[in-house]
Amino acid sequence: MAGREHPETERASLIETVDEEELYGPSEELLENVSAALSAGDVPLVETLIEPLHPADVADLIEHLEPDQRKLFLDITRHALEPETISHLDESLRDEVVDQMAPAELAGVVTELDTDDAVDLLEDLDDATQREVLANLPAEDRAYIQQGLTFPEDSAGRLMQRELVALPGQWNVGEAIDHLRAAADLPDDFYDLYVLDAEEKPMGSVPLSRVLRSKRDTRLGEIMDGELRLVRADTDQEAVAYLFRQYGLMSAPVVDDAGRLIGVITVDDVVRVIDEEAEEDLLNIVGVGDTDFHAPAWETAFQRVRWLVVTLINTLVAAFVISRFEDTIGHYPALAVLMPITAAMGGNAGVQVITVTVRALATREITPSSRVGRIILKELLVGLMNAVVFAAILGTVGGFWFGNAALGIVLGSAMVFNMIWAGFAGTAIPIVMDRLGLDPAIGAGPFLTTTTDCLGFFAFLGLATLFLT
């Protein structure tokens, strides 16, 4: 019988497996190996397993661990974690890590982060802890972060980083290259050199590739792109994401009210914004709202209960409508079986339209200058075509099921009415809410559900009262 591998041989085998993997996120095998090492209390092996990982992959690894293993992992590896790992964690887990750090230790993490990530990390701290952390920062870092915290949440000022390369317009390429080689405080990654005038206002930008291809005596002003897409610090991050998507930008300069350059937004941050905004719209449409998979149960329950209260009110209104037709339902019990169909089909059709409309508003496919009438007309036609198909199907099924052709016609007619209404309301409600300055992703769903339910029941039971009694 073969003997068990020697512990050192087994450890080497685990490490070799990790080194050979293409680490696009932590693999299942890696998760199992880290979990086993944690259970065995093998701290050196845990550190060796995570050493080749990107900080974002380490963050994913932490999120996949069980709560007790996660706490142990953070206890034994916190000294080895890269600061960027903390910025990649989901909000609740990031708070869990931050709560275990002393202000001086947290300040050390903050100094290693880009200013936008540092602001994001500090903004959720209580005031006392935030002041302590800021007090432990170098004066320049502290000033940048304090200014970042003054900008509105979800604005370009919160999104920008202060680390950038800005040079006088009279410099030539040789002077710029010499500066880039000699300067010790340059950002780790940058894509453009910004050319400033005497008032520190950006005149243009020069891509690094153009700098490298140009002769040393060429002035930056001669090779710069003069058409800059400037972003004000108070610009909403959704507008910033649209700017990058529309013009294919890698970076964009941020300016203050006087037009002076104060920061830069890079494409990696915009990708995160696009992901967050898409997720927010999706969650709001289905009524979940801002949520965190790793948040405590009570917090998740509180986030969801608000939507459920709205749903309860909608249900009570629909129940009131149904109660007005008690006599009709009493004469034709089959109505009680069939009436949810009309409301459900209208609601589902409306959610489809709302989703498309909200997304079109977010991506500016629908703007204030768009011909709203044409958009609504299209959805009315789509609703009519779908309604005719399903009315024919369900009307036939209902008629044969209960042996009553008139009942099938009533069901089909109510279906047509409600699905056409769903097409109209699913388009009009989000557009109207957007024009009123309200978030259509949050409010459109409840309004639509209420109307499709109530009108669906009213149309079906009302027609039944007129033609069957």
- Pick from 216, 258, 209: which is nearest to 233 by CA? 258
5 vs 124, which has greater pLDDT?
A: 124
pLDDT at 82 over 70: yes
**Same domain as 106, residue 211:** no
DSSP string, 405-424: HHHHHHHHHHHHHHHHHHHH
**Same domain as 142, residue 208:** no
**Same domain as 388, residue 239:** no
What's the pLDDT tens digit per position in 189-237?
788 899 998 888 999 999 999 999 999 999 998 999 888 899 999 998 8
pLDDT of residue 214: 93
**Same domain as 194, residue 60:** no
DSSP three-state, residue 17: helix
Give the pLDDT mean for 100-123. Answer: 84
**Same domain as 244, residue 113:** no
**Residue that terminates a domain, selected from 130, 153, 176:** 153
**Same domain as 357, residue 312:** yes
CA 247 – CA 267 distance, rounded (Å) = 12
**Residue that terminates a domain, selected from 126, 153, 180:** 153
What's the pLDDT tens digit per position in 302-335?
767 766 777 788 788 888 888 989 888 888 888 8
pLDDT at 357 over 90: no
Q: What's the pLDDT band for 73 if we cut at 50, 70, 90? A: confident
Question: What does the mean pLDDT of the chain come to?
Answer: 82
376 domain-assigned: yes
Q: Which of 56-65, 104-113, 202-211, 437-446 has the lowest mean pLDDT?
A: 437-446
Contacts of 67 (CB under 8 A, 6+ apart): none
272 domain-assigned: no
99: exposed, middle or buried (Cβ count in 10 Å: 0-12, 13-18, 19+): exposed
Domain that holds residue 120: 7-153
**Same domain as 228, residue 80:** no
For residue 233, the domain's CATH number is 3.10.580.10
**Same domain as 313, residue 249:** no
Q: Is the pTM of this model over 0.85?
A: no
**Residue that terminates a domain, selected from 248, 267, 286:** 267
- Terminal CA-CA length for the chain: 85
193 domain-assigned: yes
Question: Total structural domains in the chain?
Answer: 3
Write out the two tokens for 100: 């275990």
